[in-house]
Amino acid sequence: MKKNRLKKRAAKKKSFYKRYFAITTIVSIVGVFLIFIAITNLHSNNDICANSISCIKDLSGNYNNDSSQGIFMGKAVKGPFELADAFLPQKTLGNTTGQKRIEINLSTQQLFAYEGNDLVHNFPVSTGKWYETPTGTFYTWIKLKYTRMAGGSKELGTYYNLPNVPHTMYFYNSEIPKWRGFGIHGAYWHNNFGHPMSHGCVNMRIEDAGKLYDWADPPTKAHTTYANEDSPGTMIVIYGKTPNS
């Protein structure tokens, strides 16, 4: 009798563990599936992030009158009123004699604007110091007269939250999708152009960014300008290695 009771108890325990492991396995599979769906939805082309870390999705290109003060590297910075209107270009670069192309040399921290084989202009830039600027061939997919950028780490002292970033041109390719939020734009929070100063984007002096923004394709139509098949974005070639600083 005692042996039978022990056998029944062992059988019940074995059955319990089987059910426990089965339920745990199912819950784990469902959890992984839900996480996968969430990540897929977050990074789909229908849910574009204008900035890679903060995932700010306001692509209106409008100036935010309620927010003139930003934070860069944990310190408060103030942007002049409506920066994108302060440096209206008098004329576009060059005479549009060939296909437009932007080249960025990370090693020398310079940007070159070409029309065909003709160098139209070059500007000093500041590329990734706290996060690498990607290399390769990219295309502009959207132009924003103003946008907000935020990210970094408060713990590491690299946090930034910058409203009304002027003359932003976001770029992408097959390896660096749109939601990563890399772009060329004007910067009002530092004046150290020619040296690495960004979290991955390409910083320019505001007046230089305005000229490039006005020159680059697609032609600017409003505060937000999307590239499309009929009006593609300018090719951007990034090469070299950002120097240590």
Residues, the chain: 245
Note every long-range contact of 89-93, with CB atoms under 8 Å and residues 24 or more positions apart, other chains counting.
89/210, 89/211, 89/214, 89/215, 92/211, 92/214, 92/215, 93/120, 93/121, 93/211, 93/212, 93/215
pLDDT at 75: 75
pLDDT at 77: 82
pLDDT at 19: 61
pLDDT at 233: 96
- From the CB of residue 242, how many other CB atoms can be counted at a distance below 10 Å? 18
pLDDT at 76: 76
Render pLDDT for 24-68 as a digit per residue (tens, 0 to 9): 666 556 554 444 444 444 444 444 565 655 566 788 888 887 766
Render pLDDT for 196-235 as a digit per residue (tens, 0 to 9): 999 999 999 999 999 999 999 999 988 999 999 999 999 9
Q: Tell me, what DSSP letter sits at residue 243?
A: P
Render pLDDT for 142-195 as a digit per residue (tens, 0 to 9): 999 999 988 878 888 788 888 899 999 999 999 999 988 999 999 999 999 999
CATH match for 69-239 among 3.30.70.20, 3.30.70.330, 2.40.440.10, 1.10.10.410: 2.40.440.10
Work out the end-to-end distance of the chain between its first and last CA atoms, rounded to an integer number of angstroms: 81
Domain locations in the chain as residue ranges:
1-42, 69-239
